Structure 1
Amino acid sequence: MEAIIASAIAVLGTLLGSGLTLAFQRRTTDRTHAFTRDERLRQERLDAYATYAGTLLNYRRSLIHLWFCLHEQPPPEDPEAVRPRTYDLRSEAQEALFRVQMLTDDETLSRTAEDVLAAVTELPRTDSRPELDTRRRETRDAISALVRAAKRHL
């Protein structure tokens, strides 16, 4: 009888040990998967934020060049040659914005990113050089502020 009780205790101990090992392995696996998922999301956000900021800068530069083509005499380049590049860059900026908006959980950051694109788009609608210079400074600062805000979400 003692042999049966000892065997039963041994079997229960083995089952308990196996169960605890399984629970710890499952928890470790879940943590590893969560860490991997979080790191992948962080990398995707970093890529999206950096791409958006770079695209905004290129779009901004193109719009400023378009302004000079429209307002300087003689124009440095035919405005009709510059417009298609500007439209392409605007499309790239909008695509990058959509990617940022899909990856961020922060509604404020999403709205700020959208507002910066709108401010940059308004650049060529200025009538004077001093107004253009002011908006250039404002959009440059807005892009920098957006990058700093995005950095907090990485």
Structure 2
Amino acid sequence: MDAALIAVVGTLLGVVATHWFQGRAAERTAALARTEQLRQERITTYSTFAGAVVDYRQSQNDRWFKAHREPGSEEAEQSRYASYRQRTAARQALFRVQLICEDPATRRRAEAAFEATHCMHEATDDTDRVRRSDEAKEALALFIEAAAPGVR
């Protein structure tokens, strides 16, 4: 009888221990899956934002050139509207960065990249446009540098 009781208790302890270890393993697996999903979402969000800012910077340069070559022309107006569409896309991408990014410094870098690009069309001459374009490019590079460790 004692041997049977010991066997039952041993079996119950084995079941409880197995259940506990399996539960912990499942929790670890779920946590790893969540972490990887968040990493993938960040990669997508950050690269989409960077692409949108590059497109916005290009449209701002195009807008500036057309506005200074042929002020008030249909081509200049179309370029202006195209820059508005690119601004909207970049701002939407910025909102996604703000939602998914936990690091305040990285969010500020994203905002700075957007803002530097946003002000490019206000350049007074070509030298000022080049300076502003370079600043926007540098601001985006700083964002990418800040964001990269969070997705590695």
Q: TM-score range with shorter-chain normalisation? A: over 0.9
Other-structure match for 1:117: 114
How far apart are 1:43 and its partner, in Å? 0.2
Describe how 1:22-37 pairs up with structure 2 within 5 A: 22-37=19-34
State the distance in 2 between where 1:13 and 1:121 align. 70
Other-structure match for 1:41: 38
Other-structure match for 1:137: 134
8 Å Cα contact 1:69/1:75 also seen in 2: no
8 Å Cα contact 2:63/2:76 also seen in 1: yes
Other-structure match for 1:6: 3
Query: In structure 2, the residue corresponding to 1:153 is in which secondary structure?
Result: helix
- Count of aligned residue pairs for this structure pair: 151
Query: In structure 2, the residue corresponding to 1:105 is in which secondary structure?
Result: coil
Q: Which runs of 4+ in 1 moved over 3 A?
A: 73-77
How far apart are 1:75 and its partner, in Å? 9.1
Other-structure match for 1:98: 95
Describe how 1:76-95 pairs up with structure 2 within 5 A: 78-95=75-92
State the distance in 1 between where 2:128 and 2:120 align. 9
Matched, 1:53 2:41: no
Q: CA RMSD in A?
A: 1.6
Identical-pair percentage? 37
Provide closer, same or farther for how the CA distance between residues 134 and 74 of structure 1 changes in structure 2, counting only shifts above 3 A: same
TM-score (norm 2): 0.94
Query: In structure 2, the residue corresponding to 1:40 is in which secondary structure?
Result: helix
Other-structure match for 2:66: 69
Matched, 1:20 2:14: no
8 Å Cα contact 2:94/2:111 also seen in 1: yes
Residue by residue, what CA displacement relative to the aligned partner does 1:31-57 show, whole Å, maximum 9, x if unpaired? 110000000000000000000000000
8 Å Cα contact 2:98/2:107 also seen in 1: yes
State the distance in 2 between where 1:9 and 1:151 align. 57
Provide closer, same or farther for how the CA distance between residues 73 and 89 of structure 1 changes in structure 2, counting only shifts above 3 A: closer
8 Å Cα contact 1:126/1:132 also seen in 2: yes
Query: In structure 1, the residue corresponding to 2:150 is in which secondary structure?
Result: coil
Provide closer, same or farther for how the CA distance between residues 150 and 76 of structure 1 changes in structure 2, counting only shifts above 3 A: farther
Residue 58 of structure 1 aligns with an amino acid whose one-letter code is D
- The worse-fitting range, judged by mean Cα deviation, of 131-140 and 57-66 is 131-140
Unaligned stretches of 5+ residues in structure 2:
none
8 Å Cα contact 1:69/1:77 also seen in 2: no
